[in-house]
Amino acid sequence: MDFSDQHESQSRSLVGIRHLNEAHRFRPPAVHYGCMLLYVDANFASPYALVAFVSLLEKGLTFDIEPLDLAARANRGPDFAKTSITRRIPTLVHEDFALS
């Protein structure tokens, strides 16, 4: 494969990527199911919290983020214990339902 063939092949693949990006540019209007609250660690280091965050964004849902300082054991406090029985993050709260 010479340089021109290689360049043409690379150009074709980039065109495909460009079309893919254009297809994903359209986003339906955000669906509002009420305000949701996502508890994450303050350092944003949890891969599980990241998955929850990206999933909510991809679904186009509206939510707020509440970071908890795990080093200061904020997840062990009485306020968070009322929210999450397991006291773990991520915890997603929607109205009176909490999932952790």
Q: What is the pLDDT of residues 1-18, one digit of tens each?
A: 555 555 454 444 444 444
The domains located in the chain, with CATH, are 31-99 (3.40.30.10)
pLDDT band with cut points at 50, 70 and 90 for residue 34: low
Q: Where are the beta strands (DSSP E) in the chain?
A: 31-41, 61-68, 91-94, 97-99
pTM over 0.85: no
pLDDT band with cut points at 50, 70 and 90 for residue 39: very high
Residue-wise pLDDT for 46-83, tens only, equals 899 999 999 999 998 889 899 999 899 998 988 888 88
Q: Which of 70, 75, 72 is nearest to 100 (CA)?
A: 75
